[in-house]
Structure 1
Amino acid sequence: MNSARPDPDWPLFGMVDDARPALQAALAEGPAALATIIALGGGGPRPVGTQMVFGAHGISGFLSGGCIEADVEGHARRCLDDGRPRRLVYGEGSPWPDIRLLCGARIEILVERILPDDPAATTLLALTRARTPAVWTSDGETRVCAETPPQ
């Protein structure tokens, strides 16, 4: 497992909304795990689409008010090790009743391993450099990134 290094205090790495710079930095060092909120029930502190990035030497972003980040990191590190995506549920219907969400929400998260040569990630980062909006779609194993069609 890749958990030999101590993590920074949560507030120092949690105040980031745009995951793309962190994803680019993480992929420059090897595979990264991307955790994305894919469904919410009952509100929640962060919207669907919010992401965290876990790389070999860093973490960026936050998914809740600090209730689940440490647990998500454990799943992300295992995902980096074995390559298998994970769907995590916190709150109602969660298999982890000891992890409580203070907001009372239900949060569903997809955790996936992204390799440095992943075509969708390559496209996303190229569109980012070109300052072009993009749409990212993933089921955890198959990813697609495309330029957002003009409105």
Structure 2
Amino acid sequence: MKRFVGLYFLFLALLFTLFYANTSVVSAFINETQTNITLFFLEMFLDKGQLKGIDIWINPHYKIIITQACNGMIPILFFWASVLAYPASFAYKVVWMIGGYLFFSVMNVVRLLFVVYVTQHGSGQKDFYWSHDIVGNFMLMITGLVMFVLFIKGSKKSLS
């Protein structure tokens, strides 16, 4: 268990430094690309003209801005650190990291659409906090926990 925890924090630091922090052209490119992918899928479900650049207009006086922190990379990197730290075959980890990336990307779009819907049909900015910071983040945490439990259970089956 100590080994897992130590490796988890090591991988978390490495992943955030390499892929999230604005430390290189590579990390900037990854985050910009992930944000653009998120915006691409959001636009499919938003009202025509509601998305302008990185802004989702709720009404003429209120918009939600999709920043780097909203692109889904944070929960993806937390999941990846867990997968990398766990003792399993490299191929099994790669499969779960790719699947995790895809599933988290979809869940992040669902989360943002939920936030937009609640904010737009509720009390606006008053509903943003609970829909984004509490319910939306809870959705991503549960997604990560369930995926990691499934990863662990599957890795035990693949070893036997």
Q: State if a TM-score over 0.5 links the two structures.
A: no
User: Which structure dedicates a bigger proportion of its chain to helix?
Assistant: 2
User: Which structure dedicates a bigger proportion of its chain to strand?
Assistant: 1
Q: Which structure has the greater CA radius of gyration?
A: 2
TM-score normalised to structure 1 length: 0.29
TM-score normalised to structure 2 length: 0.28
